[in-house]
Structure 1
Amino acid sequence: MTKFLKTSNLLNGLFFLAVLVLLFNPSAKAVMIRGLMKVGLFQPDMDMSVEKSAAVPDVIFQSTDGRKIHLSDLKGKVVFINFWATWCPPCIAEMPSINSLYQKLKNNKNIVFIIVDADRNFSKSVSFMQKNRFTMPLYQLASNVPPELVSNAIPATTILDKTGRIVFHQNGSADYSNPKILEYLNRIAK
């Protein structure tokens, strides 16, 4: 019996249990990814030499209060768009950093945040945002979305400049609390 209670066996058992939790618990995965973000991994690729794309076709989003906004009506503003889902650990992991960025920029009238529910279960996303005390504006799609904004992978984040052209696109999670993002958004919003 004491053979099984050796320290190495207990540590192996705890390690195996931790791996199982990470495999089957989205919240645990999100916590792990968020921790990796804090040590410098998952930084957004801020390659400012990216060639601007053509203007993105119009997309319609609907807010939690039923108000509809057209992407085409936001020309003249920088638009930060993030597609996410409540079941997606990388999405959950990056949400605090997006909320932090939003808090720093919410009073800048030249920058608009559109956080898009990809769940197709808006009430679940609203509940998630409230539970986590995220104050970013939440939207759902009210039209088709062009592949330039989101492909088959989420999270997906796109930044449009004032002319409506894509100047940044990130598939996968990233730490948006990076000061370079804040500086970049403030610069292109002038």
Structure 2
Amino acid sequence: MFLYVFVGMLSLSIGVAYQIYSQTDFSTLEGKSYTFKELQGKWLVINYFAEWCAPCLREIPELNEFHHTMQEQGDVVLFGVSYDAIQDHELSLLAEKYDIQFPLINELDTAMPFDPPKYLPATYLIRPDGTLAGQLLGEQSQQSLLEAIQAK
């Protein structure tokens, strides 16, 4: 009897631990999963865009450049979010068509630490401690994003 209880408790403990450690807040089109907690210590830049938004499309080359520069430094991470609810296949086609080189969030398991934008393009800055630093409205450049992070 003791053995059954022990095995049952062990199985329950393993199941709970697996559930806790396997939870994610969001995943990207590339198949990577993230938690906000694991990204603490870095600036998060989250850019909302849509194909029908001309300024959104104009800023993509600047966001690509920002992404590559920040990848080298390692202290800032950029993610894109489609404002329109589209399937992964459509998001993939959009990324290819407009040469989006930064990770695109395709699945959100936990609410973002801010309300969705009312206007586009919109970019949110989240401090390394996980708090919202602010929202930038309008077309951004690599320089404007660097300046905004330095000012916060």
TM-score, with structure 2 as normaliser: 0.69
Displacement of 1:163: 0.4
State percent identity of aligned pairs.
22
Structure-2 residue corresponding to 1:128: 94
User: How far apart, CA to CA, are the structure 2 residues paired with 1:151 and 1:186?
Assistant: 23
Larger strand share, 1 or 2: 2
Shift of residue 147 of structure 1? 7.2
Match of 1:98 among 46, 58, 63: 63
For 2:54, the equivalent position in structure 1 comes to 89
Counterpart of 1:70 (choices 13, 19, 35) is 35
**Secondary structure in 1 matching 2:72:** coil
Residue 110 of structure 1: how far off its partner (Å): 1.6
Instruction: State the shift of 1:124 in Å.
Output: 2.0
Matches within 5 A, 1:7-22: none
Once residues 70 and 105 of structure 1 are traced to their aligned partners in structure 2, the CA distance between those partners, rounded to angstroms, is 19
State the 1:161 CA deviation.
1.2
Does structure 1 conserve the Cα–Cα contact (< 8 Å) formed by 2:57 and 2:98?
no
Assess if the C-alpha contact under 8 Å between 2:56 and 2:139 holds in 1: no
Displacement of 1:186 in angstroms is: 6.7
The question of whether the paired residues in 1 share the 8 Å contact of 2:80 and 2:105 is answered with yes
Aligned length: 128
**Pairwise CA distance, 1:146:** 4.5
Aligned to 2:111: 145
Q: Shift of residue 183 of structure 1?
A: 5.0
| Structure 1 letter corresponding to 2:140 | D
CA RMSD after TM alignment: 2.5
- Residue 19 of structure 2 is matched in structure 1 by none
Deviation at 1:90, TM superposition (A): 2.6
TM-score, structure 1 normalization: 0.57
Q: Which has the higher helix share?
A: 2
Instruction: Give SS of 2:44's match.
Output: strand
Residues 70-117 of structure 1: CA distance to partner in whole angstroms, max 9, x if unpaired?
223211111111111222223212222211211221222221111112
Structure 1 runs, 4 residues or longer, greater than 3 Å off = 144-147, 183-188
Provide the secondary structure at the position in 2 that maps to 1:103: helix
The unaligned stretches of length 5 or more in structure 2 are: 1-23
- Cα gap change, 1:104 to 1:186, in 2 (>3 Å): farther
Does the 8 A contact of 1:64 with 1:139 survive in 2?
A: yes
Which blocks of at least 5 consecutive residues in structure 1 are unaligned? 1-58
Out of 159, 165, 173, the residue aligned to residue 125 of structure 2 is: 159
